[in-house]
Structure formats: structure tokens, C-alpha cells
Amino acid sequence: MELTGAEILVRCLQDEGVEYIFGYPGGAALHIYDALYKQEKVKHILARHEQGATHAADGYARSTTKPGVALVTSGPGVTNTVTGIATAYMDSIPLVVISGQVSTALIGNDAFQEVDTVGITRPCVKHNFLVKDVKDLAATIKKAFYIAQTGRPGPVLVDVPKDVTAQRCEYVYPKEVQMRSYHPVVKGHPGQIKRAAEMLLGAKRPMIYSGGGVIASEASRELTEFTRALGFPITNTLMGLGAYPATDPLFVGMLGMHGTYEANMAMHDCDVLLAVGARFDDRVTGEVKQFCPDARIIHIDIDPSSISKNVRVDVPIVGDVKNVLSDLSKAMKAAKKEPDKQALSVWWKRIDGWRKFDCLGFDRASSLIKPQYVLETLYRLTKGEAFVTSDVGQHQMWAAQFYKFDKPRRWINSGGLGTMGFGLPAAMGVQFAHPKDTVVCVTGEASIQMCIQELSTCRQYDLPIKIVNLNNRYMGMVRQWQEFFYESRYSHSYMDALPDFQKLAEAYGHVGMRIEKPADVEGALIECLKLKDRLVFMDFITDQNENVYPMVAAGKGHHEMHVSPSQARAMEDRELA
Amino acid sequence: MRHIISILLENEAGALSRVSGLFSARGYNIESLTVAPTEDPTLSRLTLVTRGSDDVIEQITKQLNKLVDVVKLIDLTEGAHIEREMLLIKVNATGNMREEVKRLVDIFRGHIIDVTDTTYVIELTGTGEKLDAFVDALRGAGIIEVVRSGVSGIARGERSLRA
Ligand SMILES: Cc1ncc(C[n+]2csc(CCOP(=O)(O)OP(=O)(O)O)c2C)c(N)n1
């Protein structure tokens, strides 16, 4: 039977097993919306802004192993998705974005709500398509899902002109995709793997540094077994948190700009570094000239262009992390050699010395609410089991430092693009994927206002998200940089005329709370978590002047961290004693 | 170092802008670029000349390979290869310059392919250096217009670029 393009599109989504799509209608997409209306399999979630829809699809993808799907109209609908698409692109998240377009006859005429969608999104997608003939539609959708999820994942956009959604043709959904120009590498090179095994077994001060690629590759188990078998210290990037259990003794915390003292010092002093599914981002490496000065580096990554891009490596291994790690384990066993136990124990003694310094310590006697205390308590009360999304700023770093993720896909944040406004809509996607679980959005009063309208979506679909707003009345991270690097000239980082968030939440039909005293923090969180089926907006009035420590300033090496004044004093005392 | 990179590209709308967009987005330079379909009309062959350190060239080829529309590529400058560019040049040809220009064309083995009372159009093929030298030699005659095709190239011997 012949179907219209719109019907074909919806059938493709059904056959692809898509449960939710996040979207917003408009003229060019109306045939598609009509086709959606006539079926029940694919559930459409109406966001309040296309950026929100895209982040929600992204949050859904990050918290599952499935791609996220968004549907928007042409022109402003699609330009509103660009931030969301770029966010997913930077963090290699599989998304399929379907956009309506003006009819093919009008393309190029500056028609109403026409933009060059393929042109605008080209630099921030893994690939994109403009479908000009309904006969190509099903095959293109199939390719879009395939490209988004394979190799290094990423967003793929399919632009569909309105007349194409009205044309009819026979529907066949292809079973598989053959593309002569696209063959992601999966297996690592055996010779390189052997070299890596030998290098690791010869290490005296080894270090494992793993990133989001481990999560994308579903390789947490392999990474954990591999690391435990060797007893090597391991650090995770911001994107990799949860890939290795944070409560495990071999885990030395996050590394990089706001990484732990022990992780950064161990990076600086290691002699063999194994980088797994990580991309040597500048926030991770600090000054590259001072990066791991004594180390020989092994790098496993599925994307050849990630290798030796920022830092030259000695043993590059292109391949899927999961495959390569299990091959590497085998190669190490075959080498019939043990790691140097004695050297390792000396190395651990040094690391434990760094650990004792307690770099995340903060003032517990303060009469003001310390943001760290809120997150530490949240962690304890949720037993580390919650899905935590965040926005961007100080609160994001504190969440990363104080919430110990033992499982992958629980920590959902915009690491690469650093998109304020991500947290709440991402939490919606996570909550749809995990309706029974606790989903917390850790945010700041500046970030939350960038997609605050999604509170309305949460009401419509009864999403019981818990919002932890660490309200310091500043764009805290900006204020911190201005304090450190601009002699405390707080240029436009102060948020005057903030709304009453408690009332705002109530106006949207949710529960609002305002917490002003440290003594009330725990009780309020307990109460909030008890309200299982309500969205609760918790507005914590926190210490305005708190800073995130440790900090490796841009251009500095890992060993040149700023530490908090109180911890610096403690360190001195210990050295004097 | 100067490199000539030859690419087999899906002959699809937008494929070329993915390549050129990559160069501008990542700050790589393109000295010249030529593109046309191959004997298989679904494939285009694109040849570009770029400059960069070994690290930069490595990134360029890796990033190009990552583009979904790129089927295959080869860095011609990594091995023995032949490089050609075509020049069309229109020059003044009056008085005694008519003979002088014709003599230069013969020396460089070019062809005069259009003649009027006052002008010649000359066609010349060769390496970029040869074309540069020819253009320089003609400066005295009075150049009206210069069109260069950009470099194209092919590997010598067994080495080839095929889908
Ligand atoms: C869309 C966007 N605009 C600007 C920035 C730059 N920026 C980074 S952090 C930050 C301040 C965030 O303030 P807030 O949400 O209150 O969090 P805090 O740092 O106070 O915890 C800003 C403006 C950004 N990351 N994203």
C-alpha cells in the first residue's frame, strides 16, 4: 500500500523501536504531526521550546543505550535546536533530529520560515540529509539512525520538505545499511595492543584516565575488571564519571581543571598513561606542554582524529573501547608477566599521601549553606542511586565532585559545549526513560532560567523531577574567574531581580521550597524525596562567595593547582607538624 | 609542507561544502581545489592543495576521512606522482608583441586558442611552477585575464585511488 511521506516517517520511527520523540509543531511539520496523531506507538512529548525538546532527547539518549529523537518545524523551529544539537555533538550523543522544511519548489526563495537547515547545522552534526524525494525517505531515516549510533556516536539531522511529507510511495523499511563511505573501525590493531600490554606491564607509576567513550561503548564492566585485575589507579573525566565506580578504592576522583589533588598529581607524575575513550580536552590537560611530562601514553579511541590531536601519543589504538579492552586483557595474560607489585605499592603510598590532604574539604561550621554540603547530603540520602543532571557552572563541578557515581549513565551533563539551560530539559528525557527512578537536576539560579519554561512540560506529563537550585545570586563560575583573574571586578555576573523561585514553581503547578539555613538542608531534602510523584523545586540560598577547588587555571600544569584557603592552611600545618 | 590530497567523494548535493566547511571551521588553508565527476557518475574526485606541519596534515586527513561523504583519500605527495594545472590567459597582442608572445608560447609549449586583432587567448598545461613562470614572462605584453584550473594530480605506477 502506498503511504504519504508523513506516514512513512512515522512508520520508520515505529520500526526503529522509538518510544518517545520530543518536539514542537509548526507549518512545515504539520503533515507529520497529523500522522503522529493517528497512531499510538510513538509517543510525542511536547516541549515548550525546541532547545528543550533537543536537550530532552539528548538526556533520554545519555541515560539509556538508545538514540534520542526530536521533531521540529522549519525556520525558527530548527534554529532553536542548534544549541541542543551542538551540545550533543560535542559529547558524542546519538540523536536523530527531524526538521520540517518548506516545499522543494520554494527552497532557495526566502520562503516563509525557510532557513538553510542543512547549512546551518552542518558544522555541528555527525551528518545531515535533505530528502528531496519521498522514495528516498525511509532509506534516509534508516541511515540517520545507523550513523547516529555507530562509530563515534553523534547527532544526525534529516530535513524533510513539506511536499515530500505529502507525496505517496510504497513503504519498505530497509533491514540494513550499506554505505561505501562509512565503515567505523571496531577491532583494535593486534600489534598495537601487544605493545600497549608490554608497556603497561613494565610501568612503575601507571595511571588510567578514562572518559565518555567508555560509556558510549558500554564498556564499564570491561574497564572495571581490567583496572581491578591490575590494581592501577584510575581517574575519570567529567564525561566519564560513573564508568568506573567512584566508591572503589582504586578511583582517585575526577581529573582536570576542577579535578582532585590526587588525580591531577598522579597524572603529572605517572610514567605510563592509558587513556581510554577520552579526548585530551583542554579542560582536562591544562597546559599541554606540561601534561604528563614523564609518561609514555597509550590511547584507545574509536575516532582516529581524536588521537594525537592535542597530545602526541606513543601507542595509538583505534577501535571500540569494549573490544579493545577485552583484547588488551587477553594480551596482558598472554604476556605471562605480572605488574611490578613493589613499584606499584610505592606509587600507591604517594597517591595515598596526596589523598590525605582532603582537597575537597570545606568549612562545615559556616552559618551559611555551603553548596558542597547540600550535594554531599543529597548523595547520602539518595544512596548514590539517583540520576543527576546538571547545568553549567560551579554547581556542576560540585555535583561532579561530591556525588559519587558508581554506575554509568547516571551523571548527565553538558561537558563539551558547557550549555547552560541543559539540566532541566535533560532531566525530562531521563525521567521518561526511567519513570520509577529519582531524577535530580542540580542547577544554579542563572542556568535554570535559560530553559525555565520546561517546568510547564514537567507539569503536563507529571514528571517528578527534583530540582536542586544552588542559589548564590551570582553566575558563580563567572564570579570565581573574575575574583581570581580580574581583581574581583564582578562585571555583569550578578543576578539582580531574581524571581521568587518557590512561587514560580507553584505558579507552574509544582511544589516550591526555599531553604536558608544549614540546619534545614537535610530535613528539606528528606521531605522533597518523599514527594515521589511531584516535581519539587528546592531553592537553596547558599554562600555567595564559595569557590570551586582545587583549580588548575588555564595555561597551568596539573601540579600547579589552586587549593582552597582552608585546605592550604591544613596542608601547611601538617607539614610543620 | 605543501600537500596534494585527492579525495573520492559521494557526488551529492552539499558534499563539497562539507569539505570546504571543514577547512574553514578548523582553520586549515586551501591553496587550490578542483572537483569533477569520475567515470562513475556517483563519485566525484576532488583534489586540494594545502600546507601544514606533519601534525596538521595528519589531522586534515583524519578529519576528512571522518566525513561521511568521503569514500577514500590519498595524499599524493607521499609518493611519486604527476601534478598538472591548466592555465587560460588572455593577453594584449598588438604590433611587435604579436610575434614575441607567439615565440614565448612555443617555448613553453602552449597553444594559442583564440585570436583577435588585438588579443590572444593561450592555453598552457603544466606544474604550478611552469605556469607561474609563463605568467611572469607575459607580464611585459600586458595581461588582460588569468584563469587557472587549480592543481589536479595522479599517482605514478601501481598506486591508485579507487572506490
Ligand atoms: C548558554 C551559556 N551562556 C553562558 C555561559 C558562560 N557561563 C558559564 S558558567 C556561568 C554562570 C552560571 O551561573 P549559575 O547557573 O548561577 O551557576 P553557578 O556557577 O552560580 O553555580 C556562565 C554565564 C554558558 N556556559 N552557557
Give the tens place of pLDDT for each residue, A396-433: 999 999 999 999 999 999 999 999 999 999 999 999 99
Yes or no, beta carbons of B68 and A308 under 8 Å apart? no
Q: Residue A332's pLDDT is what?
A: 94
Q: Which three cell numbers mark A554?
A: 588555564
Kindly give the distance from the C-alpha atom of residue A555 to the centroid of ligand 1, in angstroms, as a whole number.
21
Extended beta strands in A102-154, E state: 127-130
Query: Which of these ranges, A333-347, A555-569, B38-52, has the smallest mean pLDDT?
Result: A555-569
Task: Check whether residue A542 and residue A405 sit in a common domain.
Answer: yes
Task: Check whether residue A541 and residue A425 sit in a common domain.
Answer: yes
Please name which of A425, A374, A383 lies closest in space to residue A404, comparing C-alpha atoms. Answer: A383
Whole-model pTM?
Answer: 0.96
Yes or no, beta carbons of A181 and B18 under 8 Å apart? no
Task: Check whether residue A342 and residue A397 sit in a common domain.
Answer: no
Q: Which of A39, A41, A112, A337 is catalytic?
A: A112
| Interface membership of B95 toward A (CB under 8 Å) | no
Distance between CA atoms of residues A263 and A558, nearest Å: 9
Task: Check whether residue A69 and residue A202 sit in a common domain.
Answer: no
Sign of the alpha-carbon dihedral angle for A360, A364, A366, A372: positive
Average pLDDT across chain A, whole number:
96
Yes or no, beta carbons of A305 and B17 under 8 Å apart? no
**Shortest CB distance from A182 goes to which of B59, B68, B163?**
B68
Yes or no, beta carbons of B59 and A130 under 8 Å apart? no
Distance between CA atoms of residues B11 and A476, nearest Å: 50
Task: Check whether residue A201 and residue A163 sit in a common domain.
Answer: no
Query: Residue B16 corresponds to which amino acid?
Result: L
Please name which of A211, A210, A249 lies closest in space to residue A228, comparing C-alpha atoms. Answer: A249
- What phi and psi, each to the nearest 5 degrees, are found at residue B105? -60, -40
Q: What is the pLDDT of residues A79-101, one digit of tens each?
A: 999 999 999 999 999 999 999 99
Residue to substitute in A475, A498, A539, A545 for testing ligand 1 pocket (most ligand atoms within 8 angstroms of CB): A475
Task: Check whether residue A252 and residue A140 sit in a common domain.
Answer: no
Q: Is residue A567 part of a domain?
A: no
Evaluate whether A84 touches A53 at the Cβ level (below 8 Å). Answer: yes
Distance between CA atoms of residues A164 and A106, nearest Å: 12
Evaluate whether A239 touches A305 at the Cβ level (below 8 Å). Answer: no
Task: Check whether residue A445 and residue A334 sit in a common domain.
Answer: no
Task: Check whether residue A112 and residue A239 sit in a common domain.
Answer: no
Question: CA of B31, closest CA in chain A: separation in Å?
Answer: 21
Evaluate whether A463 touches A490 at the Cβ level (below 8 Å). Answer: no
Q: What is the pLDDT of residues B80-131, one digit of tens each?
A: 999 999 999 999 999 999 999 999 999 999 999 999 999 999 999 999 999 9
Q: How many domains does chain A have?
A: 3
Confidence category of residue A575, pLDDT binned at 50, 70, 90 = low
Question: CA of B148, closest CA in chain A: separation in Å?
Answer: 28
Q: Which of A16, A50, A114, A222 is catalytic?
A: A50
Task: Check whether residue A349 and residue A375 sit in a common domain.
Answer: no
Task: Check whether residue A152 and residue A12 sit in a common domain.
Answer: yes
Confidence category of residue A576, pLDDT binned at 50, 70, 90 = low
Task: Check whether residue A339 and residue A386 sit in a common domain.
Answer: no
Task: Show the DSSP H helices in A382-512 as ranges.
Answer: 394-402, 423-433, 454-460, 476-485, 501-507
In three-state secondary structure terms, A550 is: coil
Q: Residue B77's pLDDT is what?
A: 96
- Residue A295 belongs to domain with CATH number: 3.40.50.1220
Q: Is residue A336 part of a domain?
A: yes
Q: Residue B117's pLDDT is what?
A: 96
Distance between CA atoms of residues A188 and A213, nearest Å: 15
Ligand 1 atom having least distance to the Cα of A443: 15
Neighbours of A41 (CB within 10 A): 13
Place of cell 597524572: A267
Q: Is residue A560 part of a domain?
A: no
Residues paired with residue B147 on neighbouring β-strands, in sequence order:
B88
Evaluate whether A501 touches A512 at the Cβ level (below 8 Å). Answer: yes
Query: Residue B121 corresponds to which amino acid?
Result: V
Q: What is the pLDDT of residues A293-329, one digit of tens each?
A: 999 999 999 999 999 999 999 999 999 999 999 999 9
Instruction: Kindly list the residues from chain A whose CB atom is less than 8 angstroms away from the CB atom of residue B163.
Output: 180
Kindly give the distance from the C-alpha atom of residue A446 to the centroid of ligand 1, in angstroms, as a whole number.
6
Compute the average pLDDT of residues A237-244.
98
Kindly give the distance from the C-alpha atom of residue A285 to the centroid of ligand 1, in angstroms, as a whole number.
22
- What phi and psi, each to the nearest 5 degrees, are found at residue A368? -100, 155
Question: CA of B71, closest CA in chain A: separation in Å?
Answer: 4
Torsional class of A334: left (φ above 0), alpha (ψ -120 to 50), beta (otherwise): alpha
Distance between CA atoms of residues A176 and A146, nearest Å: 9
Domain boundary among A123, A142, A170: A170
Query: Residue B122 corresponds to which amino acid?
Result: I
Yes or no, beta carbons of B68 and A309 under 8 Å apart? no
Kindly give the distance from the C-alpha atom of residue A391 to the centroid of ligand 1, in angstroms, as a whole number.
8
- The answer, yes or no, to whether residue A572 has pLDDT greater than 90, is no
Q: What is the separation, in whole angstroms, between the first and last Cα of chain B?
A: 27
Yes or no, beta carbons of A122 and B58 under 8 Å apart? no
Query: Which of these ranges, A200-209, A552-561, B118-127, has the smallest mean pLDDT?
Result: A552-561
Q: What is the pLDDT of residues A358-367, one digit of tens each?
A: 999 999 999 9
Q: What is the pLDDT of residues A525-543, one digit of tens each?
A: 999 999 999 999 999 999 9
DSSP codes of every residue in chain B: -EEEEEEEEE--TTHHHHHHHHHHHTT---SEEEEEE-SSTTEEEEEEEEE--HHHHHHHHHHHHHSTTEEEEEEGGGS-EEEEEEEEEEEE--TTHHHHHHHHHHHTT-EEEEE-SSEEEEEEEE-HHHHHHHHHHHGGG-EEEEEE---EEEE-TT-----
H or E, element range at A524 = helix A518-530
Q: What is the SS3 assignment for A241-279?
A: CCCCCCCCCCEEEECCCCCCHHHHHHHHHCCEEEEECCC
Please name which of A445, A505, A490, A500 lies closest in space to residue A472, comparing C-alpha atoms. Answer: A445
What residue numbers bound the domain in which A107 lies? 2-170
Distance between CA atoms of residues A423 and A447, nearest Å: 8
H or E, element range at A99 = strand A95-101
Place of cell 534520542: A68
Q: Residues 6 or more apart from A282 whose CB is under 8 A from it?
A: A288, A310, A554
Rg (CA), chain A: 25
Task: Check whether residue A72 and residue A201 sit in a common domain.
Answer: no
Q: Is residue A234 part of a domain?
A: yes
Compute the average pLDDT of residues A321-350.
96
Q: Is residue A278 part of a domain?
A: yes
Confidence category of residue A1, pLDDT binned at 50, 70, 90 = confident
Evaluate whether A327 touches A190 at the Cβ level (below 8 Å). Answer: yes
Q: Is residue A348 part of a domain?
A: yes
- Residue A428 belongs to domain with CATH number: 3.40.50.970
Q: Which three cell numbers mark A407?
A: 554506575
Torsional class of A487: left (φ above 0), alpha (ψ -120 to 50), beta (otherwise): left
Q: Is residue A569 part of a domain?
A: no
Q: Residue B31's pLDDT is what?
A: 95
Q: Is residue A117 part of a domain?
A: yes
Query: Residue A134 corresponds to which amino acid?
Result: V
Place of cell 525530562: A428
Q: Which of A126, A143, A162, A466 is catalytic?
A: A162
Q: What is the pLDDT of residues B17-76, one digit of tens each?
A: 999 999 999 999 999 999 999 999 999 999 999 999 999 999 999 999 999 999 999 999
Q: Residue B58's pLDDT is what?
A: 96
Evaluate whether A447 touches A519 at the Cβ level (below 8 Å). Answer: no
Evaluate whether B12 touches B49 at the Cβ level (below 8 Å). Answer: no
H or E, element range at A85 = helix A82-90
Active site includes A112? yes
Ligand 1 atom having least distance to the Cα of A470: 21
Residues paired with residue A276 on neighbouring β-strands, in sequence order:
A210, A300
Neighbours of A503 (CB within 10 A): 13
Residues paired with residue A534 on neighbouring β-strands, in sequence order:
none
Question: CA of B2, closest CA in chain A: separation in Å?
Answer: 20
Place of cell 540520576: A387
Query: Residue B43 corresponds to which amino acid?
Result: L
Q: Which three cell numbers mark A393?
A: 557552572
**Shortest CB distance from B59 goes to which of A123, A130, A305?**
A305
Reported ipTM: the value is 0.93
* Burial tier of A92 (Cβ tally within 10 Å: 0-12, 13-18, 19+): buried
Q: What is the pLDDT of residues A444-475, one digit of tens each?
A: 999 999 999 999 999 999 999 999 999 999 99
| Interface membership of B129 toward A (CB under 8 Å) | no
Compute the average pLDDT of residues A282-299.
94
Evaluate whether A74 touches A116 at the Cβ level (below 8 Å). Answer: no
Distance between CA atoms of residues A353 and A325, nearest Å: 30
